[in-house]
A = this chain, B = another copy of it.
Amino acid sequence: MKPLSRAAIVAVGSELLTPSKIDTNSLYVTEQLNRLGIDVVTKIVAGDDRDGLSRAFRTLLEQADLVVSCGGLGPTDDDVTREAIAQALERTLTEDPAIAEALRQRFAARGLGVMPEINRRQAMVPAGARPLENARGSAPGLWIEAGERVVVLLPGPPRELKPMVTALVDGPLRERAAGVPLVRRVVRVTGRFESQVDETLAPLYRRWRSRTPGVSATILASPGSIELHLSSRAASLQGGEAALEIAVSEAVAALGDDAYSADGRRLEQVVGDLLVERRLRVAVAESCTGGLVVSRLTDVPGSSRYLDLAVVTYANAAKTAVLGVPSALIQEHGAVSRPVVVAMAEGIRQKAGAEVGVAVSGIAGPDGGVPGKPVGTVHVAALLGSETRTREFRFLGDRELVKFQASQAAIDLVRRLLLGSP
């Protein structure tokens, strides 16, 4: 029998075609399939419509050798997945007496009395289908072989679906999988544009592709965040992981300190770890970021080891009263200026008795821009001992995006200061 290597996932439910619900089952299913070396090549969301869903099954069976559906196995008229797959495979749908009996017993055992007639729908199966036990709900899953292809029907509720997927991955799917596991690593980058990262890495892409096992690379960029996603498919999990380890080292060597994480850690975690390692404490003074820098730093468990105090001095008077920034300095340079952020960082560092001080001041918008200092102008400063680092930025985007990019810049400036890197 040909091993399974390409999967398609169908999420079933008209609610998934509205603005308020999204399919998340497919993430779990994907993760589990990838562990067996099965790729997900496409996903479809289909409404509760038998013909449409049947068409979706047919299309997917042309592209994939494993089709997994999630949802539409309930007892109501809306639940059409069983009928749709029977139609797509041109098989008859008949009641499975064993499933019907199990349903009846389930009702009795839970004190729900006689099973409503409608629930018998859940015992209908296409010819040749094998039921998959549902320990947490009434709808059994179904395993259907169609030539060399396999269709798996799973229930929609995540708490019913997940144990069923686990059982499949440990059982029948493992036996049928191609077994060339796909492994992944992510390298996170700051301080460069996407195109600059791409240019730096272009020679590596070619080298990685040509190796055995090959390594594929994709760049995912959003404002303030660039991620290099590397993946490799190898005969063994170990082989893939080793290939990725080499590729990650090469990427990090090419990107230098602009690559801040290759192990899933977020920027605030990386900085937190550096502070713990160096036994330093940080204090934060924010204006335009309004607390986002300290909120991110304190998202890290155990951050109380290196953070005692932060202030958000939104008003100029607060910068003077709380941080001791001379009002003359603010008058001369403006609150959004290099001298003022340096004074803020110095002020908070002294107030907190911390070794590291970091400060941000800027114009988050939508109002507040002035000639020469448009919305998005941000100054950051970070201090350690006698060393002072400052940067000026012009960020694009709306208020929340400017806040995020400014927080990213401030946290990254601390990182570079601690590393002694440019």
Contact = CB atoms under 8 A, between A and B. Distances in A.
Nearest to A30: B19
Given A229-B15, A365-B301, A20 B218 contact: yes
A313 B59 CA distance: 56
Given A59-B59, A195-B75, A295-B289, A218 B48 contact: yes
A31 to B, nearest CB: 4
A46 to B, nearest CB: 6
A344 to B, nearest CB: 13
Interface in A27-69: 27-28, 30-31, 34, 39-48, 52, 55-56, 59, 63
B313 A309 contact: yes
A390 interface: no
Contact of A317 (B297, B308, B313): B308
A91 interface: no
A291 interface: yes
A287 B349 CA distance: 18
Q: Specify how many copies of this chain sit in the oligomer.
A: 2
Nearest to A312: B310
Contacts of A219: 76, 78
Q: Say which size band chain A's interface belongs to.
A: 35 or more
A164 to B, nearest CB: 15
A18 interface: yes
B301 A307 contact: no
Given A42-B47, A291-B291, A291-B295, A20 B159 contact: no
Nearest to A157: B222
Contacts of A401: 159
A106 B215 CA distance: 34
Contacts of A294: 290-291, 312
A310 B307 contact: no
17 contacts: A15-B220, A17-B43, A18-B40, A19-B30, A20-B220, A22-B27, A116-B195, A118-B198, A136-B396, A159-B223, A284-B312, A290-B294, A295-B295, A298-B364, A308-B315, A309-B318, A310-B314
